[in-house]
Amino acid sequence: MEDYYAPRELKNNPEYIKWMVRVYGIKDGVPYNHHITPHPCTDEDYDTFYPIEAASAGFLSEMRNDPKRGFMCLDWDEADPFEVWGTENQDNH
């Protein structure tokens, strides 16, 4: 999350911003609810991204190389195991 207008900077001041990511659903009839901790993406996180389309490569480079910008990444291992699929009408969602 960043300003739409200048200056474009990642909004990550804990005095004003609280990141909360939750994954919930039902697996084999049992409800689950996981909270996942976000963090500013590291080079190791970026290395796990799918290859980017050429048209977006410049944008990703700007985000990675500007110390005031960047993406937030998730510590997915905190939510293992979960699957992203289904609808609320199915047994697993």
- Please give the residue range of the domain that contains residue 75: 21-79
Q: Let me know if residue 1 belongs to a domain.
A: no
Considering the domain boundaries, does residue 87 fall inside one? Answer: no
- Rama region for 83: left / alpha / beta (φ>0; ψ in -120 to 50; rest): beta
How many whole angstroms separate alpha carbon 45 and alpha carbon 40? Answer: 9
Percentage above 70 pLDDT, the chain: 83
More confident of the two residues 51 and 79 = 51
Q: Per the structure, how many domains does the chain have? A: 1
Is residue 43 situated within a structural domain?
Answer: yes
Q: Is 4 part of a structural domain of the chain?
A: no
Mean pLDDT on 33-53: 89
Dihedral of alpha carbons 30, 35, 41, 45, sign? negative
User: pTM to 2 decimals?
Assistant: 0.70
Q: Is residue 10 in some structural domain?
A: no
Question: In the prediction, which pLDDT does 81 show?
Answer: 63
Residue 61 in domain: yes
pLDDT band at residue 32 using 50, 70 and 90 as cut-offs:
confident
Q: Are strands 21-27 and 30-36 parallel, antiparallel or unpaired?
A: antiparallel
Q: How confident is the model at residue 78 (pLDDT cuts 50, 70, 90)?
A: low
Model confidence at 86: pLDDT above 90: no
